[in-house]
Structure 1
């Protein structure tokens, strides 16, 4: 890489030693082999294309158990066949000198019984307005449908969820991943406990900020027990409203989360900027979440959501972020780090192929040399 700007200076995120700071964000793409959610050859090719020497890839959201599933085609990390599939993926990334972190995911109420083996989806509390809302949809074998009615987790069930995360972390280690990231954003289970729009509990997991962040802390400790803190990360969605989320005082909540996570010595904290909701851009006020939380979190911080090469360079140069995770640009530019480093034109993405099931819009985007040769 020829560039000498901030994005292309080495850094360390905990134990992860990076040669550049253009990270591939977690991107749900629905291409695992069904019905058992196994990473196959198509996924291996996709991630191999996007691997770079000293670059970090964060996997798409990966289910920790059968009952955590909520999205058709999303991979899992709870069976032996899934572990074997991931070994081929990670091996291909490592062969190109890249690093890869597994993002661990429980969809919570954003699910359907056809995805969970028949089990009722779970959440912090029950909210019938969620599954009755026609704007809330989940992907199942029959297409896009409204979620199934969910139920609230009993207190004595939460330890079992935490254990599912710990076991998934062990599976990730057996695969050969370089670390794990907890998905605690976008209206999925951990986020459903964090935000009081979805958490109406009156027990030790509801009410106060300390109580609503209890599950998050317990899961983080479980992951650290397997990996050590310097290979564990957390992804949050401050001020995000995706998947019906809301909080009565999001400023206080996410400030508390950021400060609370300082105690662990994580590899990094990963923010989703609220100007992106799912795969859509939205209008927001208040500036970058990273700017607001940077003074509160003392460790390494990365963010994703609406960044372009120039704005990514700026936030890293200014010390707001230690690295930037790109999502949609990585979809259509498998050689994105090279293009950013050499200021090459980016190929536009095709949103209609984001959540389909074959190679179209997945592994058929060419690298820049092939694009230039075709002109």
Structure 2
């Protein structure tokens, strides 16, 4: 294939959103927004990716208005006049380059305290008061020992307040001009913690079997859908792995996965963002189909893959063993997109290395080299 005939450069419509190609900038936590307010540097950072030709930008995680949503004061917020004004400038900059952008709404849930010191008087939001059974993790032993101490489970009032905070944040995003909204429902954070049986041992309407464990994330989606209307796109990130344990799973087979994902799509999700360490990793034994591929097959909704595009190591592996070498897996990516296995591909680290990554892929040029020390530390 040439760059012009690549399936990566076919347009796609999702509700009211039209994207010119299938390349997405993956959400990546940056913590460069003092007091939660994105400044001109953040606007410039996203503008450069839009100018480079990326079809859709998904922002770093953005805090909803809840006192334990995020534990780092430099993570941006989706509430308050100054933060919303800052986001309006980001949106204007991206739209000025012909780009499209959605914010990823975030509540860290059980992982409150992982990024920075927190007020011990504040109650972290945990379905059952547990952090989760630790396994393969990159967290320090000291943090894990502190985090494993049980806390009070979420009450019905807590659940109602968080649902409302998500809906309000989505309405704020729509009001400042974003092209849709994304929800972080993976990696052991709040919504995911209701899905995982290690963190959700409730025996009420919000816990038990899979149908009940998915009710809280589905209620968040439904509340957002009711607030933003029928055509405003909703993207939902989910994962098998957790930061508490990279080997954890919310579904042991595709039937269980279907129970979860169909409930989310029925509630209003348009795009299922299947977070995995490699975009081509088989999700279940006996099939080559990726997690994103199963998401699309099981629901009929659009799906997005992510993980190690152009790189020979996952993010976790590169943090342990050093920078990831180049890996030209673009032909395999194109094969899967052309076959309709998934619709979009989210790329993180290479977007840090090269704001014009989409143009590089269109030209079939050499992929950029990623250097964590340089590219994670600066707003290139």
> Cα deviations across residues 50-101 of structure 1 (Å, max 9, x unaligned)?
1145721011111102420134532111211110111111110000000111
1:62-73, aligned counterparts within 5 Å?
Answer: 62-65=62-65, 66-71=67-72, 73=74
Work out whether 1:298 is the aligned partner of 2:300: yes
CA separation of 1:355 and 1:2: change in aligned 2, threshold 3 A: closer
Q: How far off its partner does 1:319 sit? A: 0.4
Secondary structure at the residue paired with 1:243?
coil
Q: CA deviation at 1:26?
A: 0.8
State whether residues 283 and 291 of structure 2, in contact with CA within 8 Å, keep that contact through their aligned partners in structure 1: no
CA–CA distance in structure 1, aligned partners of residues 222 and 293 of structure 2: 27
- C-alpha distance after superposition, 1:154-204 (max 9, x if no partner): 123201100000111121122111111111011100000011011111111
Cα distance, 1:117 vs structure 2 = 9.2
Distance 2:335 2:193 in 1: 33
| Alignment partners' CA distance in 2, 1:116 and 1:311 | 47
2:269 maps to 1:266: yes
Aligned residue among 331, 336, 347 for 1:315: 336
Of 88-97 and 291-300, the range deviating more from structure 2 = 291-300
Distance 1:262 1:120, change over 3 A: closer
What number of residue pairs does the alignment pair up? Answer: 349
1:238-257 matches, within 5 Å, as: 238-244=239-245, 246-247=248-249, 249-251=251-253, 252-257=255-260
Matched, 1:326 2:347: yes
Aligned twin of 2:313: none
Instruction: Compute the displacement of 1:210 (Å).
Output: 1.4
Partner of 1:91: 92
1:237-280 alpha-carbon deviations (Å, 9 max, x no partner): 3322333373474324422122223324533111112448xxxx
| CA pair 349-28 structure 1, distance change in 2 beyond 3 A | same
1:16 touches 1:267 (CA, 8 Å); kept in 2?
A: no
Distance change in 2, residues 1:235/1:71 (3 Å):
farther
Deviations 1:316-356 (A, max 9, x none): 10101111111111111100110011111222122235654
- Corresponding residue for residue 27 of structure 2: 26
**In the alignment, does 2:28 pair up with 1:7?**
no
- CA drift of 1:226 comes to 2.0
Which shifted more, 53-62 or 17-26?
53-62
Structure 1 137/160 Cα, relative in aligned 2: closer, same or farther at 3 Å?
farther
Q: Is the 8 A contact 2:205 2:212 kept in 1?
A: yes
> Match of 1:61, SS?
strand
Distance 1:60 1:204, change over 3 A: same
For structure 1, the 5+ residue unaligned runs are: 364-375
d(CA) in 2 for partners of 1:123 and 1:42?
A: 34
Q: How far 1:116 moved relative to its partner?
A: 6.5
1:202, 1:230 → 2: CA distance? 35
Residue 75 to residue 196, structure 1, CA distance change in 2 (3 Å): same
Q: Which residue of 1 aligns with 2:57?
A: 57
- What is the rounded CA distance, in whole Å, between the counterparts of 1:134 and 1:239 in structure 2? 14
The one-character-per-residue Cα deviations of 1:103-130 (angstroms, maximum 9, x if unpaired) are 1110001112845795221111122666
Structure 1 partner of 2:316 = none
Q: What's the TM-score, normalizing by structure 1?
A: 0.83
CA contact (8 A) 1:197 1:247 kept: no
Residue in structure 2 matching 1:121, options 115, 120, 124: 124
SS in 2 for 1:68: coil
Tell me by how many angstroms 1:12 deviates. Answer: 0.8
Q: Secondary structure at the match of 2:109?
A: coil
Residues 25/227 of structure 1: CA separation in 2 closer, same or farther (3 Å cut) = same
Q: Deviations over 1:303-328 (max 9, x none)?
A: 11123432321221010111111111
Q: Does 1:350 align with 2:371?
A: yes
Between 10-19 and 344-353, the greater mean CA deviation after superposition? 344-353
Question: Structure 1 residues 12, 145: CA separation in 2 closer, same or farther (over 3 Å shift)?
Answer: farther
Equivalent runs, 1:212-227 vs 2, <5 Å: 212-227=213-228
- Residue 11 of structure 1, CA deviation: 1.1
SS at structure 2 position matched to 1:295: helix
